[in-house]
Amino acid sequence: MAMYDLIIIGAGPAGITASVYAVRKRLNILVISPDIGGQAALGGDIENYTGYQFITGPELALKFEEHMRKFDIQLKDESVQDLKKTGEIIIVKTNKAEYQARTVIVASGKKTRELNVPGENEFKNRGLTYCATCDAPLFSGKDVAVIGGGNSGLDAAIQLERIAKKVYIINIAHELTGDEIMQETIKKDKNTIVYNESKVLAVLGEKMVNAIKISRQGKEEILPVEGIFVEIGLIPNIDFAGILEKNEFGEIKVNCYNETNIEAIFAAGDVTNVPEKQIIIAAGEGSKAALSAFRYLNQHRFS
């Protein structure tokens, strides 16, 4: 079995940046990820990534991928299932194989939080989706509901207001919590209706979604819609990382050097407890983690 200097789990902004830094340090590395771009690839319009006054999430993710591919970095399209350390060897088990490394960077990001209500599983990809960037064009001229009043929800609603006939924002809080500039855009659109203090009770339909049951300020009602976009936040992709210490939100604890509680295992990006989940922050944390792994390898002699 080959011994890698570094295995990077995840190919979002943090993982890709870590891979570029690591390969430039002449490390023998492997990147393992079932997708490329992470949550960045699912985003809408981006206006706050330095160097780009405007770029879409998929476009920025493609730029990241092009940069990584330039260095001919080995990438495995696999899902990590387990992570363990035996002596000075770290073993990464995937759905297809096992790999060994001297250091590991966990940059597996986050995944969409689900509603956990009746009808959700039944109507996934049958009118219910978790990605406005991917699926918004399918709902042209239709009434849709966006679940969530944070940045993700408002971003989805802004994308949909150009396409859908009417957009309902179902927000559990007393008021929207997304950025002010996004709220201003929402308020200007006459076809977007905000329901605060509201939550989803069930997803309804026959072959496809045709309505959503909600509790609005304590009163139940049926809202006819043909599309539902779930945007209620993210949870860390850490099912495989049982040996790593987490905080109360399930995020991997790291220090300023991106070190975890296990020596030689580092973590970076949205999967960690670093505050403010932003693309540019994840990329910066990825570079720090790669440099920390390089420093660790230089400080230790392996037989």
**Tens digit of pLDDT for each residue in 9-29?**
999 999 999 999 999 999 999
Distance CA(70)–CA(61), nearest Å, equals 14
Q: Are residues 146 and 293 in the same domain?
A: no
Can you give the CATH number for the domain in which 196 is found? Answer: 3.50.50.60
Is 17 found in the same domain as 84? yes
Q: Which of 45, 77, 134, 239 is catalytic?
A: 134
- Look at residues 280, 250, 287 and name the one whose alpha carbon lies nearest to residue 266: 287
Average pLDDT on 265-279 reads 94
In a domain, 119, yes or no: no
Is a pLDDT exceeding 80 seen at residue 228? Answer: yes
Name the domain count of the chain: 2
Q: Assess whether 152 and 213 both reside in one domain.
A: yes
Catalytic residue among 135, 143, 155, 270: 135
**Would 122 be classed as within a structural domain?**
no
Structural domain boundaries enclosing 31: 3-112+234-299
Predicted local confidence at residue 299, as pLDDT: 92
Please give the pLDDT value at position 182.
Answer: 94
CA angle 36, 276, 49 (to 5 degrees): 60
Q: Which of 210, 230, 250 is the last residue of a domain?
A: 230
- Picking from 203, 230, 257, the residue at the C-terminal end of a domain is 230
- From residue 145, alpha-carbon distances to 168, 186, 273 in Å are 5, 14, 31
Task: Say whether pLDDT at 233 is over 70.
Answer: yes
Same domain? 19 vs 46 = yes
Q: Are residues 218 and 266 in the same domain?
A: no
Average pLDDT over residues 61-89: 93
Q: How confident is the model at residue 42 (pLDDT cuts 50, 70, 90)?
A: confident
Residues 251 and 222 in one domain: no
Q: Are residues 133 and 213 in the same domain?
A: yes
Establish if 117 belongs to a structural domain. Answer: no
Active site residue 135: yes
Q: Is 256 part of the annotated catalytic residue set?
A: no
The pLDDT value given to residue 250: 94
**What pairs with residue 194 in β-bridges?**
169
pLDDT averaged over every residue in the chain:
93
Residue 275 lies in a domain: yes
* pTM for the predicted model, two decimal places: 0.81
Same domain, 58 and 201: no
What whole-number distance in Å separates Cα of residue 217 and Cα of residue 196?
A: 8
Same domain assignment for residues 81 and 225:
no
Q: How confident is the model at residue 249 (pLDDT cuts 50, 70, 90)?
A: very high
Q: Is the pLDDT of residue 34 over 70?
A: yes
**Would residue 123 count as lying in a domain?**
no
pLDDT value at 303 more than 70? no
Is residue 120 in some structural domain?
Answer: no
The C-alpha atoms of residue 193 and residue 166 are separated, in whole angstroms, by 8
Which residue out of 35, 82, 131, 179 is catalytically annotated? 131
Same domain, 257 and 203: no
Residue 17 lies in a domain: yes
pLDDT, residue 242, reads 93
Query: Are residue 142 and residue 89 in the same domain, yes or no?
Result: no
Asked if 246 and 101 sit in the same domain, the reply is yes
> Of 187, 214, 230, at which residue does a domain stop?
230
Q: Give pLDDT, residue 302.
A: 67
Q: Is residue 121 a part of any domain in this protein?
A: no
Q: Is the pLDDT of residue 133 over 70?
A: yes
Q: What is the pLDDT of residue 44?
A: 73
Q: Under a CB-based contact definition with an 8 Å cutoff, are residues 132 and 164 in contact?
A: no
